[in-house]
């Protein structure tokens, strides 16, 4: 009987380990828009992330970024400017899964327009100004919105459309932490009306239920990128 019990426990233990290994196995989160496979590694130029420096060659400069104390120019059509510190600007962020941004807004009406981060959740803290912020859920769309003051914090879940509007009569500042070394940004108006090549106007006319002349007009505009 003991031998049978031992065998049973062994089978259960092996089964548990197999299930645990399956549960722990998953595809890594993408760190760029796409990564097309290639059979010959000599022709490859990117990995999912960045190639790693020899740790013995790393130094403190690899983990340092300076300049977030400096205000950015908000003289653009949307009245805002995002200074993003991602892995392209701070090499030490590679594999760490975080990045940071400073967002400057022009007085009353400075807007970080509706956009998404396909690879990151964003947490925003207001340093100056009064911000009207919000995000929209996946279908059926529901709007979550709030007015934020200095010291307030708001979270925008990964991949959801969100925005920030400065409703103060002075310039405004916010800082945002993002849960990816390369969060990516898709500005909705830019993507829909400013893509290259342009989306077929018939698609947009039917999707938005508007006159084709309006779609043609919007596609001819200069779409500002933050």
| Binding-site annotation: residue ranges | 112, 115, 117, 122, 162
Tell me the helix, strand and coil percentages in the chain, rounded to 5: 25, 25, 50
| Binding-site annotation: residue ranges for Mn(2+) | 115, 117, 122, 162
Question: Which residue, 88, 83, 92, is CA-closest to 61?
Answer: 92
Q: Are 167 and 106 in contact (CB under 8 A)?
A: no
Q: Are 125 and 152 in contact (CB under 8 A)?
A: yes
C-alpha span between 153 and 171 (Å, rounded): 18
| Binding-site annotation: residue ranges for oxalate | 112, 117, 122
Q: Which two tokens stand for residue 158?
A: 């990964």
């Amino acid at each position: 009987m003991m031998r049978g019990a031992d065998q049973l426990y062994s089978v259960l233990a092996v089964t548990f380990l197999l299930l645990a290994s399956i549960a722990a196995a998953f595809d890594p989160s993408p760190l760029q828009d796409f990564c097309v496979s290639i059979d010959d590694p000599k022709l490859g130029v990117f990995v999912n992330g960045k190639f790693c420096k020899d740790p013995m060659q790393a130094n403190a400069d690899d983990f340092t970024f300076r300049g977030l104390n400096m205000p950015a120019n908000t003289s653009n059509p949307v009245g805002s400017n995002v200074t993003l510190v991602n892995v392209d600007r701070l090499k030490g962020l590679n594999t760490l899964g975080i990045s940071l941004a400073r967002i400057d807004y022009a007085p009353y009406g400075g807007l970080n327009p509706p956009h998404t981060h396909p690879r990151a959740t964003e947490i925003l803290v207001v340093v100056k100004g009064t911000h009207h912020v919000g995000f929209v859920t996946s279908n059926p769309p529901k709007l979550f919105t709030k007015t934020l003051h200095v010291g307030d914090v708001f979270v925008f879940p990964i991949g959801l459309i969100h925005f920030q509007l400065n409703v103060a009569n002075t310039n405004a500042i916010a800082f945002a932490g993002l849960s990816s070394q390369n969060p990516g940004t898709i500005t909705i108006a830019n993507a829909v009306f400013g893509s290259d090549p342009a989306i077929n106007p018939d698609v947009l006319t039917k999707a938005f239920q508007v006159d084709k002349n309006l779609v043609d007009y919007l596609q001819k505009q200069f779409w500002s990128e933050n």
